[in-house]
Amino acid sequence: MPAVIFDLDGTLVDSEPLYYEAGRRTLERYGIAGFSWEEHTQFIGIGTRETLETLRERYGIEAPVEELLAVKNRHYLELAATTEIFPRMRAFVERLRAAGHPLVVASGSSRSAIETALKATGLDALLPVYVSAEDVGRGKPEPDVFLAAARLLAVDPGQCVVVEDSGPGVEAARRAGMRCIAVPYAGGPSPDGELFASAGLLFRGGQPEFDDRRAYEWATSGS
């Protein structure tokens, strides 16, 4: 019976607009105005730490990354109560849970951000186990967070299916030796990019096209 590893942001919950706003407010605090949604989309699928390291260098911000992380996390938590789950993803999680599949969330966000999003959407009752960016050394596209999730479940990576919305996440699943269902985030990078090519099942149209029954059949077929 395969284990299923869910990315959180953009996959289970529609939190990308909240992360964009948290990032915009963070940069604004340090005198950087005009951070656009288009710029934000360059970092979809990239961990918060890695994103802030890049932005810190790009804009010459002197504050240490740990400070930027704390500021952005605080802004995100102020917004997170409005997080919404993608309805067909809830159905998919419920279907897998009813069948007894091991489930875990593996995210590039902080523990507090994950806990808040899961609680806000009621997913904490269905997905109480998670791995955060604080639990691993490297973010996606490195496979660390997915391999840590497999260890937490005591499941071989080859018996895991990852559900992802981003190219870096799909690549991380490939490097971890796991099968992958890709549901590209609307407004993010094109699903025609090479990073999405290794997904075993690709819902090219994103969440509007996602079919929980088809995803379940593919995930459990071992194909």
Domain assignments of the chain as residue spans, ordered by start: 3-14+83-221, 16-81
* pLDDT computed for residue 190 by the predictor: 67
Widest Cα–Cα separation across the chain? 52
Task: Tell me the C-alpha to C-alpha distance, in Å, between residue 204 and each of 57, 129, 197.
Answer: 33, 28, 11
Tens of pLDDT, residue by residue over 191-210, are: 767 778 899 999 999 999 99
pLDDT at residue number 175: 97
The pLDDT score that the predictor gives to residue 148 is 98
Least confident of 54-58, 61-65, 87-91, 107-111: 107-111
> What is the per-residue pLDDT for 194?
78
Query: At 151, which helix (H) or strand (E)?
Result: helix 144-153
Mention the CATH class of domain 3-14+83-221: alpha beta
Backbone φ and ψ of 44, nearest 5°: -65, 125
Three-class DSSP category at 210: coil
Check residue 196 and give its pLDDT. Answer: 87
Task: Please report, for residues 13, 96, 206, the alpha-carbon distance to residue 81 in angstroms, rounded to integers and kept in the order given.
Answer: 12, 26, 24
- Report strand pairing: 160-164 vs 179-182: parallel
Instruction: Return the pLDDT at 223.
Output: 59
Give the mean pLDDT of 15-34: 94
Q: What is the pLDDT of residue 189?
A: 65
Give the pLDDT mean for 8-18.
93
Supply 129's token pair. Answer: 């186990």
The residues carrying an active-site annotation are 7
Rg of the chain in Å (alpha carbons): 17
Contact 105, 130 (CB under 8 A): yes
Contact of 205 with 188, CB cutoff 8 Å: no
Cβ–Cβ < 8 Å for 211, 87: no
16-81 is classed CATH 1.10.150: yes
Q: How many residues does the chain have?
A: 223
Residue 81 has pLDDT above 90, yes or no: no
pLDDT attached to residue 44:
84
Whether the Cβ atoms of residue 109 and residue 9 lie closer than 8 Å to each other:
yes
Sorting pLDDT into bands at 50, 70 and 90, what band is 185?
A: confident
